[in-house]
Structure 1
Amino acid sequence: MTESNKNLIKIDEKDIEKHYTTAMNLINRFNYSNKDSASDSSASSFSMTSSLSNNTLVELNKSILNVTPNDALASESQHKVIHALRRALSVSTAINEQYTNFSGLSDLEEKIKRNQYLTDEEKTRRSEMSKTLTIIGTHVIASYIVHALGAHTTTSNIEAQTYTIDVSSNLNALYSMLNGLNENVKNQAKSDEVLINVVVDYFEKVISNNQRHVEGLKHLSAYESNTFFIEKDKFEVHGFDKISKNATKKVQMKRVEPHEVVGNAIAKQHCLKIVKKLLCYDFERKMNPFVEIGGFPFTILGDGKPGTGKTTLIQMTSTLLSDYCERLGLPYYYENFSTDNISEYQGKSAQNAKAFINNVMNPDCLGFGTIDDIDQIAGKRGDSKSSAGQQEVTAVLMESFAGAKTIVRGNCIFGMFTNHAENMDPALRQRAITRFLIDGPKTKEDFADLFYILSKNKTEIPYGDNEPLSTQEIQTAVQESYEQHNKPQEPQLLEVYEATVKQLGHEFESFEDVAIYCDNVLSVYPDFSGRSVANIASSALGRASDADLPEEWFEERSVFIDKSYEEKLEMIKSYVKKLEISLILQEFNAYMDSEFRSKNKSDNEEVNERVRQARLNEKASLLLQKEREAENNQ
């Protein structure tokens, strides 16, 4: 029936298609008896915003076709909805069968069929498993619909009404859920465009409301320890994670062109390179050739002083991705995780962080997820100043960026940006594969260009002797910026570097030479680890694979995007450079400069805090002494 690979369960098509007839019969018609009053909220924890009659003949297929009553044939949109519903019901049944077998519920049901006695313990277990099965079934149906139809939604102000779902049994949940959908289609869907919007919105609300039942469920391991995968639809179910719409999201963000980013040559170079690397993702294979080649920058960290251009770089990167994807017809999703996602309720911040990760990692679109001011969002573990919500976010990000279940497909990149990298949890900071310092404008040309851009052509003040923005071309600045990392910038690391060169008696030539450098760094920086080496190596590979891919590849789909994975891989390989020792050293120094910079700032802050606390203690002691002297003199 299935093919198992560790936690991956692939559902065979025949195990889905065998349920088509039953599913279609249900979509055509069924009798629904709503025993509970519409205003009785005790029937379910779901909210109720509309009332239903007690006995209803639900003809969902007919309601969908009646969206265009003057046309006897189903429109393309109606066909998509009906097909998705039939498929969703069948997929849900197939996954429920998997849970029934894995959990042992099937054995208990078999005993009942044979009229065998169930012990009290078995009766309790059967009841608990049946409840879990109901919530799983509801989640899978709703998730599949959002997955299948999400890409076809449009911007709309119409929202689906929310109806009570009776979770007392799997069948009751199914009937009440489809009945609520039927009412929405009849009352809200006045056109094909609105039909899909209403259907997707309805099931998104079902997913959200269904989460309320998850807490307290028992016997979940048979479901949550597995990932269920439908090859034909590229549909994955991971526990009760929320599925995001596979829609190209038109990002509402200030447009920033590359030449408008002043200074920050290396940071700008990185951002431009990752845009083209993302575009190489193969939607059929669900893999990016750059992951196979090595050096795909799954996580990046940009740190620098306030006002040096972090937000501008985010806007530039998103502008480029959005423009490319719109031109090539590729789905693109952008999301920023902000302090608004930190909740005072236990577990809610972690839930928000997981939703953010899942939205961006959706394998059916290109994703760009940013966490601006991450030092304010993800707290240090064990730090009394960090809230519980912040530490929840830290745990989720660490697990998602480099955890046992992390799968890097090369369809998304997460960017962490901060003014104070020293305030990040060190383990989270070390999960950033690629790092760059965002130092903003530094030369007189940079500052002149900044004035020129900010004046917005509303002045007649002459620029000067040079051409405006001429020095912001990346090729003229980036090589010099990289060469700055031939030697470390941080004094303590520079001492280690120079001592290593002296110890070797020559410049770096081999991996063993670099290993001696690592050993010397470890003696002054105990947090240096295998992960540090992996990140440095990955970043160096990324530099080697930072090929200047031809712009023509991304002008028309037929030139590159529509090629097979193997063809894309060979085309890219022809542009990839060999890994040189100079690249490894530059990335080593850039990475460790960032670590030492953060460590030194953190140490200075701790020293200052201890000095402040010592002074407070001294003042308190003097005040206490004066009070005691005053008491003795009375």
Structure 2
Amino acid sequence: MSQTSDQMELREAEITAHYPMALSMLQGFDHAPRIGKGKEVAQQERSSGVGTRRRFRTTTPGLVTRRTVPTGAVQLMATIEGADDDDALMSPVQATTLNALRRAISIALAVAENYASVSGLGDLKRANLEGALPAARKTEFAELLAAEALITLYVFGNATAYLLSAHQTEVTAEVGEIEEILTDNGQTALHGCLWELDQDIAIHAPDDAHLVATITAFAEALMEKVSLRAQNAPRLAPFTGASWHVEADDFTVQGFTPATKAKTQTLTMTFKKPHEVVGNHIAKYQAMKLAKMLMAYDFDRRLNPFAELGGFIFTFMGDGKPGTGKTTLIQMMAGLINDYCSVAGYAFRYQNLSTDNIDSYQGKSGQNAKAFISNVLDPGVIGFGTIDDIDQLAGKRGDRQSSAGQLEITAVLMESFAGANTVVRGNCTFGMFSNYPENVDDALRQRAGARFLVDGPQTREDYIDILALLMGKNHDIPMGAHELFSAQEIKKAVAASFDSHNRPHEAGLMDVFDRVHSDVGELDTIAKLGTYLKAIQQADERFTGRAIKNITDAVKVRAMDFELPDEWMENPELFLFKTYDEKKAMIEDLRVPITVDMVVQEINRYADSEFRYADKSDEVAIEAMVRDFGRQEEAKKRYLGGER
């Protein structure tokens, strides 16, 4: 798990000091491209130097020239002013866009200046200007300049997308891959990307809506290209290990992580109360705990004490038969988080990734999945992301029935949930739900840190409760000898549910458990527990080291086997508004010791789910083969009968 560092304030004076240079870049500069190719653009004739004042319009009506721009002047301000179907006045959106670009360039230059100061690049620049740069440090100097260029480009793209996000409409634009990525130094890098942006605006932006869409699409494509380059670039630690906050814009630079506006999403779903979720005791209990865990997130530190102490559920999978209550569980958890955030004044964002996000265009499904992940991960909000019917949405590798779009989504989810760049801050959680988890790719399924068996009502009392709940109040039928919802008392029900996992539930795992138990006796030491885990692996080769990590994470969750008191959610001053260290200390006081019973129960719970998935998968495959054999036999009979 990666942790975040303390923020530094990027002072307004540092930003505005770069306004003159930023304005100069927007008005005009010369650039000879080295990587990108000039794009043929149909546009009004423009005289040299016009970008320094209001646009000069040709006196010949309808005169249009063609230009290919491999070299020469870049006049971005004039190009933006021209994106309005020949309106003689600058529109408010154009003015806002130019201000946003000037601001973004200035922020990028200010952050690059901070980086140069802390990395030693500033000293090397001065030595180079004086002709006193040691030969032994030339390689270091070149690497630092390349790092400065990448930082400048990324912060420019990040700030641009952030500042224009409030002005986006439903109009979209496709600008393609950014080519002119130069790494000589920060200023040269900006010249290269602004040269390319100038052409994209001329091609794709005939009006204000397309202007914002084009610049936003360009900024996002720029961030993606630069972040990929940065993965293998040296000298970036002073940038990735720090963060800068711009107070006036509420914009935070946090390494190569996109910043987004902390907006609460208006939810239209029907929320459910906990007592309306009948059965599913462990799943309901863990969902209720997780909703409160999310609220412990500290927006200043950008970290959750639960994520640091262990026991935070970043990803989970809920599986069960159709109609057992998966949607109701989602509605309950989203409702709880929404209510808690309303009391605290936090921004809450809920998003669901559905089959509508599978696109026939190559790469678009993956982009949709990345956008979903980024929106939920936004460190400025409390996020809850769900992937319902994930077996239909994410393709299983090796399955010929999986489309290219489904496989793209699988790759994005795998990288996002447990990839090299995954940062668990503790401000969000992702839930995957399926009626057929055996059809989910094994590696993706194992990225679910917790398993919620959504098995619906089980007991006589459960069925009475759900009948009374769904019947409503428009009847006079007496209740009879039953105390409504008493069986849904969560603590009592959960204790019984956990105790039931002292022994496995699945037949295949029972055999393994009994065999190990007869060989080593009670599983009361680390060595004996490890023996049991190895025996499970021998029975199911998919039970790998990731499974052990998920089990130990679940045990740590059990060590946090408490609900934060309701009054802490109702009165934010008691907990939510305290400092990070105060919240951490309060949580540590509630933590309980880890016991052998907890470990055995969590091993059984996790392994039961894997055996359950394997048994279902095998049974489905066997049934399919039986049907195929049956069809072959019937076809053979008909064929032979026809010959006669």
State the TM-score bracket (shorter-chain normalisation).
Answer: 0.7 to 0.9
- Alpha-carbon spacing, 1:169–1:400, altered in 2? closer, same or farther (3 Å): closer
Rounded to whole Å, the distance in 1 between the matches of 2:485 and 2:439 is: 35
Asked whether the 8 Å contact 1:265–1:477 carries over to 2, the reply is yes
Aligned pair 1:51/2:84, yes or no? yes
- Alpha-carbon spacing, 1:626–1:242, altered in 2? closer, same or farther (3 Å): farther
Deviation, 1:99, is 12
Asked whether the 8 Å contact 1:508–1:514 carries over to 2, the reply is yes
Rounded to whole Å, the distance in 2 between the matches of 1:467 and 1:419 is: 32
Q: 1:500 aligns with which of 503, 507, 516?
A: 516
Superposed, 1:355-370 pairs within 5 Å as 355-370=371-386
Rounded to whole Å, the distance in 1 between the matches of 2:87 and 2:80 is: 18
- Alpha-carbon spacing, 1:480–1:231, altered in 2? closer, same or farther (3 Å): same
Aligned pair 1:416/2:432, yes or no? yes
Superposed, 1:569-608 pairs within 5 Å as 569-608=584-623
Q: 2:420 aligns with which of 399, 404, 407?
A: 404
Deviation, 1:469, is 2.0
Asked whether the 8 Å contact 2:320–2:434 carries over to 1, the reply is yes
Rounded to whole Å, the distance in 2 between the matches of 1:176 and 1:531 is: 48
> CA offsets, 1:340-374, max 9 Å, x none?
11111111111111111111111111111100111
| Greater shift in the superposed pair: 490-499 or 157-166 | 157-166
Task: Name 2:252's counterpart in structure 1.
Answer: 235
Aligned pair 1:549/2:545, yes or no? no
Task: Name 1:487's counterpart in structure 2.
Answer: 503
Asked whether the 8 Å contact 2:282–2:497 carries over to 1, the reply is yes
Task: Name 1:221's counterpart in structure 2.
Answer: 229
For residue 462 of structure 1, give the secondary structure of its aligned residue in structure 2.
coil
Deviation, 1:476, is 2.8
- Alpha-carbon spacing, 1:29–1:97, altered in 2? closer, same or farther (3 Å): closer
Asked whether the 8 Å contact 1:29–1:57 carries over to 2, the reply is no
Deviation, 1:453, is 1.8
Q: 2:326 aligns with which of 310, 321, 325?
A: 310
Letter in 1 for 2:272: V
For residue 468 of structure 2, give the secondary structure of its aligned residue in structure 1.
helix
- Alpha-carbon spacing, 1:170–1:512, altered in 2? closer, same or farther (3 Å): closer
> CA offsets, 1:370-391, max 9 Å, x none?
0011111111101111111111
Asked whether the 8 Å contact 2:349–2:381 carries over to 1, the reply is yes
- Alpha-carbon spacing, 1:238–1:256, altered in 2? closer, same or farther (3 Å): same
Rounded to whole Å, the distance in 1 between the matches of 2:66 and 2:503 is: 68
Rounded to whole Å, the distance in 1 between the matches of 2:67 and 2:616 is: 55
The normalised TM-score by structure 2 is 0.74
Asked whether the 8 Å contact 1:138–1:173 carries over to 2, the reply is no
Task: Name 1:206's counterpart in structure 2.
Answer: 215
For residue 404 of structure 1, give the secondary structure of its aligned residue in structure 2.
coil
Asked whether the 8 Å contact 2:551–2:606 carries over to 1, the reply is yes
- Alpha-carbon spacing, 1:516–1:596, altered in 2? closer, same or farther (3 Å): same
Aligned pair 1:348/2:364, yes or no? yes
Rounded to whole Å, the distance in 2 between the matches of 1:287 and 1:523 is: 39
Rounded to whole Å, the distance in 1 between the matches of 2:449 and 2:345 is: 29
- Alpha-carbon spacing, 1:58–1:415, altered in 2? closer, same or farther (3 Å): closer
> CA offsets, 1:383-412, max 9 Å, x none?
111111111111111111111111111111
Aligned pair 1:36/2:43, yes or no? yes
For residue 530 of structure 2, give the secondary structure of its aligned residue in structure 1.
helix
- Alpha-carbon spacing, 1:340–1:92, altered in 2? closer, same or farther (3 Å): same
Asked whether the 8 Å contact 1:370–1:416 carries over to 2, the reply is yes
Asked whether the 8 Å contact 2:465–2:484 carries over to 1, the reply is yes
Rounded to whole Å, the distance in 2 between the matches of 1:437 and 1:431 is: 16
Aligned pair 1:564/2:583, yes or no? no
Rounded to whole Å, the distance in 2 between the matches of 1:328 and 1:539 is: 28
> CA offsets, 1:569-617, max 9 Å, x none?
1110000001111011111111011000000000111111222223333
Rounded to whole Å, the distance in 1 between the matches of 2:569 and 2:553 is: 25
Aligned pair 1:471/2:504, yes or no? no
Task: Name 2:354's counterpart in structure 1.
Answer: 338
Aligned pair 1:514/2:529, yes or no? yes
The answer for unaligned runs of 5 or more in structure 1 is: 1-5, 65-77, 103-110, 115-128, 188-197
Task: Name 1:21's counterpart in structure 2.
Answer: 17
Asked whether the 8 Å contact 1:243–1:358 carries over to 2, the reply is no
Letter in 2 for 1:235: T
Asked whether the 8 Å contact 1:91–1:141 carries over to 2, the reply is yes
Task: Name 1:122's counterpart in structure 2.
Answer: none
- Alpha-carbon spacing, 1:86–1:481, altered in 2? closer, same or farther (3 Å): same
Asked whether the 8 Å contact 1:259–1:469 carries over to 2, the reply is yes
Letter in 1 for 2:361: Y
Deviation, 1:254, is 0.6
For residue 334 of structure 1, give the secondary structure of its aligned residue in structure 2.
strand
Deviation, 1:280, is 0.6
Deviation, 1:313, is 0.2
For residue 208 of structure 1, give the secondary structure of its aligned residue in structure 2.
helix
> CA offsets, 1:268-298, max 9 Å, x none?
0010000111111111111111112112111
Deviation, 1:475, is 1.8
For residue 299 of structure 2, give the secondary structure of its aligned residue in structure 1.
coil
Asked whether the 8 Å contact 2:173–2:213 carries over to 1, the reply is no
Rounded to whole Å, the distance in 2 between the matches of 1:464 and 1:391 is: 53
Deviation, 1:212, is 7.0
- Alpha-carbon spacing, 1:529–1:400, altered in 2? closer, same or farther (3 Å): same
- Alpha-carbon spacing, 1:372–1:52, altered in 2? closer, same or farther (3 Å): same
Asked whether the 8 Å contact 1:160–1:202 carries over to 2, the reply is no
Task: Name 1:70's counterpart in structure 2.
Answer: none
Rounded to whole Å, the distance in 2 between the matches of 1:251 and 1:232 is: 29
> CA offsets, 1:196-234, max 9 Å, x none?
xx9xx975663236567899x899624886786642246
Asked whether the 8 Å contact 1:256–1:319 carries over to 2, the reply is yes
The normalised TM-score by structure 1 is 0.75
The answer for unaligned runs of 5 or more in structure 2 is: 30-40, 46-63, 70-78, 120-127, 132-145, 181-190
Superposed, 1:66-215 pairs within 5 Å as 87-93=103-109, 140-141=155-156, 143-144=158-159, 147=162, 170-171=193-194, 203=212, 206-208=215-217
Rounded to whole Å, the distance in 1 between the matches of 2:554 and 2:506 is: 20
Asked whether the 8 Å contact 2:7–2:245 carries over to 1, the reply is no
Asked whether the 8 Å contact 2:352–2:385 carries over to 1, the reply is yes
For residue 369 of structure 1, give the secondary structure of its aligned residue in structure 2.
strand
> CA offsets, 1:442-482, max 9 Å, x none?
12222222122222312121222223222222123111111
Q: 2:629 aligns with which of 603, 614, 625?
A: 614
Deviation, 1:532, is 0.6
Aligned pair 1:259/2:267, yes or no? no
Superposed, 1:273-292 pairs within 5 Å as 273-292=289-308
Q: How many residues align?
A: 562
- Alpha-carbon spacing, 1:307–1:287, altered in 2? closer, same or farther (3 Å): same
For residue 316 of structure 2, give the secondary structure of its aligned residue in structure 1.
strand
For residue 232 of structure 1, give the secondary structure of its aligned residue in structure 2.
strand
- Alpha-carbon spacing, 1:325–1:40, altered in 2? closer, same or farther (3 Å): farther
- Alpha-carbon spacing, 1:144–1:587, altered in 2? closer, same or farther (3 Å): same
Rounded to whole Å, the distance in 2 between the matches of 1:90 and 1:40 is: 34
Task: Name 2:50's counterpart in structure 1.
Answer: none
Q: 1:445 aligns with which of 461, 481, 489?
A: 461
Letter in 2 for 1:486: N
> CA offsets, 1:150-183, max 9 Å, x none?
6xx6xx9987899999999645667799999x99
Aligned pair 1:540/2:555, yes or no? yes
Asked whether the 8 Å contact 1:146–1:203 carries over to 2, the reply is no
Task: Name 2:135's counterpart in structure 1.
Answer: none
Deviation, 1:546, is 2.5
Asked whether the 8 Å contact 2:253–2:259 carries over to 1, the reply is no
Deviation, 1:618, is 3.6
Asked whether the 8 Å contact 1:286–1:363 carries over to 2, the reply is yes
Asked whether the 8 Å contact 1:298–1:412 carries over to 2, the reply is yes
Deviation, 1:549, is 1.7
